[in-house]
Amino acid sequence: MNSLAIIGTQWGDEGKGKITNYLAKDADFVVRYQGGNNAGHSIFVNNKKFSLHLLPSGIFYKNVVNVLANGVVIDLFGLVDELNELKANNFKDFKLLISERAHVVFPYHKKIDGLFEELKAKDKIGTTKQGIGPAYTDKSSRIGIRIIDLFDDKYLAKRLKENILIKNNLLKSFKIEDQIDFDSLYQKILVIRKIIKPFVKDTAKIIYDALNQDKKVLFEGAQGVLLCLDHGTYPFVTSSSPTASSIPLNVGIPCNYINEVLGIVKAYTTRVGRGVFLTEITDQISEKIRIKGKEFGTTTGRARRIGWFDATLIRYAKRINGLTKISVTLLDVLSGFEELKIAINYKINGKIIDGIPLLEEDLLKTEVEYLILKGWKEDISKIKTFAELPENAKKYLRAIEKYGEVKIAQFSVGPKAEQTIDLIKIW
Ligand code: GDP
Ligand code: IMO
Ligand code: MG
């Protein structure tokens, strides 16, 4: 099979968009398989920065078929805004397919997302408030509305009314005066569904056939392994699984159809939203990295939390996803530091543990063992080969490879495609 999975190995924002766009030049298909517009994937095309939330990162190439598979949750209004932005920038010749089975995110999902966050107050997750959790909740409660359902007037009206009744009762129980109005939402859907209709297809069959014909298919993960609903830092996670193992289910292809898994690894660590972060830095070093790396959320604009590189997370991501290679991004951001730290082990009572402790009481006892490396001063954003890197930057990459226990196939020294250095062939 000619398939490649691109997986975030940390808490998201590792540069998946940039790397997917870079690798998509050789692809036939780019497939988003989970999440929704909680994702924010930044890409530079013709010196302009685009932030994609739902659209796959192959959308700028006219020969690449971009797919939103069944595992994605789709905010119709958000999607149409993104399509309009593309068209406004003269990208009119794109190929897009949307799975009939993907579920829809409605404005009431966003409202409930925001309401639950408010109610949780200091215990809130820090979601993107894009309605992702409530939309997946409806899907697993079997009251969700799929893309295909939008085109059956009677069924749509019935399902939507049932859903609105449930949501309005929920709002009432929290003494929220503002109610959801069926008529106005239904009318808006009748208009917007016409825009997406030409893209709606049985994408599972299309991708299955494409893979059997040896077409090159790239699967673009959103979020990162530690935000996985099952294998992340629960409950501070998203509501889908960004792992490689979730691809077959979320796309509708056999589980042995994924052969290469490229982990995207930021050269340090970031996290948006709440939850455990054992290598977090809170002094002025974090501010320096935040400014240099422009570490502010693509979707929400929130300042990202910053931490040292954590090799234990990469070993974990390798175990959960079967990473075959990694791509190290944002290495250029680390120029100009006296010293850099790499977490190599977590220990409880002096004993090395595997993965992140699940319980608060264990987390409190967890110590991080660091390797301290000398930094480098030189600007590396224009280099083209590994050989041109300062000696200490080479040592830093080698340490990532050694303690992450996975081969570096590529590294990146800037947000643009040409600032990517390939070390070994990826696919
Ligand atoms: P994603 O969600 O994984 O696609 O990552 P985001 O796009 O949310 O965040 C990554 C940020 O880093 C974006 O602003 C990218 O433009 C930027 N970026 C990606 N690779 C590099 C790199 O190698 N160096 C620098 N300086 N910026 C990068
Ligand atoms: P990309 O694809 C970083 C985080 C939110 C919050 C948690 C749950 O750009 O890497 P949600 O809205 O999904 O219910 O929020 O997950 N989160 C992300 N953090 N990058 C993302 O996507 C994220 N998508 C969700 O900040 O902590
Ligand atoms: Mg992002």
- Residue 301: pLDDT band (50, 70, 90) is confident
* Atom 12 of ligand 1: nearest residue by CA position: 15
Per-residue pLDDT tens for 410-420?
Answer: 999 999 999 99
CB atoms within 10 A of CB 47: 6
41 is catalytic: yes
* Predicted pLDDT at 427: 85
Q: Is 314 in the pocket of ligand 2 (CB under 6 A)?
A: no
- Residue 300: pLDDT band (50, 70, 90) is confident
Kindly state the percentage of the chain with pLDDT values over 70.
100
Atom of ligand 2 minimally distant from the CA of 224: 10
How far is ligand 1, taken at its centre, from the CA of residue 330, in Å? 7
Q: Is 12 annotated as a binding residue?
A: yes
The three-state DSSP-derived secondary structure of the chain is CCEEEEEECCCCCCCHHHHHHHHHCCCCEEEECCECCCCCEEEEECCEEEEECCCCCCCCCCCCEEEECCCEEEEHHHHHHHHHHHHHCCCCCCEEEEECCCEEECHHHHHHHHHHHHHHHHHCCCCCCCCHHHHHHHHHCCCCCECHHHHCHHHHHHHHHHHHHHHHHHHHHCCCCCCCCHHHHHHHHHHHHHHHHHHEECHHHHHHHHHHCCCCEEEECCCCHHHCCCCCCCCCCCCCCCCHHHHHHHHCCCHHHCCEEEEEEECCEEECCCCCCCCECCCHHHHHHHHHCCCECCCCCCECEEECEEHHHHHHHHHHHCCCEEEEECHHHHCCCCEEEEEEEEEECCEEECCCCCCHHHHHHEEEEEEEEECCCCCCCCCCCHHHCCHHHHHHHHHHHHHHCCCEEEEECCCCHHHEEECCCCC
b/e sequence 374-396, b meaning 16+ C-beta within 10 Å = eebeeebeebeeeeebbebbeeb
Per-residue pLDDT tens for 182-218?
Answer: 999 999 999 999 999 999 999 999 999 999 999 999 9
User: Would you say residue 345 has pLDDT above 90?
Assistant: yes
Catalytic residue among 129, 139, 266, 318: 139
Q: Within its chain, how far is the Cα of 382 from the centroid?
A: 27
Strands 200-201 and 95-99: parallel
Per-residue pLDDT tens for 214-250?
Answer: 999 999 999 999 999 999 999 999 999 999 999 999 9
User: Would you say residue 298 has pLDDT above 80?
Assistant: no
Which tokens in the block code for residue 130? Answer: 């894009």
Whole-prediction pTM: 0.97
For tokens 């947000």, the residue is 415
* Dihedral angle, C-alpha 392, 394, 399, 404, nearest 10 °: 140
Q: Is 393 in the pocket of ligand 2 (CB under 6 A)?
A: no
Per-residue pLDDT tens for 45-56?
Answer: 999 999 999 999
CB atoms within 10 A of CB 63: 11
Q: Is 41 annotated as a binding residue?
A: yes
Best residue for ligand 2 mutational test, from 6, 269, 272 (most atoms within 8 Å of Cβ): 272
Q: What residue ranges of the chain are covered by domains with CATH 3.90.170.10?
A: 3-94+202-422
Per-residue pLDDT tens for 22-48?
Answer: 999 999 999 999 999 999 999 999 999
What is the chain's mean pLDDT, rounded?
97
Name the β-bridge partners of 7. Answer: 263
Question: Which ligand is nearest to the Cα of residue 221, counting in written order?
Answer: 2
- Residue 286: pLDDT band (50, 70, 90) is very high
Ligand 1: residues whose CB is within 6 Å?
8, 12-18, 40-42, 293-294, 298, 329-330, 332-333, 412-415, 419
Q: Is 103 annotated as a binding residue?
A: no
How far is ligand 3, taken at its centre, from the CA of residue 12, in Å? 6
235 prior amide bond cis, ω within 30: yes
* Atom 8 of ligand 1: nearest residue by CA position: 13
374 is catalytic: no
* Predicted pLDDT at 297: 85
13 is catalytic: yes
* Atom 28 of ligand 1: nearest residue by CA position: 415
- Residue 224, class by beta-carbon neighbours within 10 Å (0-12 exposed, 13-18 middle, 19+ buried)? buried
User: Would you say residue 177 has pLDDT above 90?
Assistant: no
Q: What residue ranges of the chain are covered by domains with CATH 1.10.300.10?
A: 103-198
State the Cα–Cα distance between residues 285 and 307, nearest whole angstrom.
Answer: 9
How far is ligand 1, taken at its centre, from the CA of residue 419, in Å? 11
* Predicted pLDDT at 208: 98
State the Cα–Cα distance between residues 129 and 285, nearest whole angstrom.
Answer: 29
Q: Is 273 in the pocket of ligand 2 (CB under 6 A)?
A: yes
How far is ligand 3, taken at its centre, from the CA of residue 268, in Å? 15
Which CATH superfamily does the domain covering 3-94+202-422 fall into? Adenylosuccinate Synthetase, subunit A, domain 3 (3.90.170.10)
**For the domain with range 103-198, which CATH number is right: 1.10.760.10, 1.10.101.10, 3.30.300.130, 1.10.300.10?**
1.10.300.10
Distances (CA, A) of 179 to 106, 113, 167, 171: 14, 15, 8, 7
Per-residue pLDDT tens for 354-369?
Answer: 999 999 999 999 999 9
Catalytic residue among 28, 41, 109, 310: 41
Q: Is 56 in the pocket of ligand 2 (CB under 6 A)?
A: no
Name the β-bridge partners of 325. Answer: 262
Q: Is 274 annotated as a binding residue?
A: no
How far is ligand 3, taken at its centre, from the CA of residue 297, in Å? 7
* Predicted pLDDT at 381: 98
* Predicted pLDDT at 374: 98
Dihedrals phi, psi of 422, to nearest 5 degrees: -90, 135
How far is ligand 1, taken at its centre, from the CA of residue 312, in Å? 22
Per-residue pLDDT tens for 145-168?
Answer: 999 999 999 999 999 999 999 999
Q: Is 13 annotated as a binding residue?
A: yes
User: Would you say residue 299 has pLDDT above 90?
Assistant: no
Q: Is 132 in the pocket of ligand 2 (CB under 6 A)?
A: yes
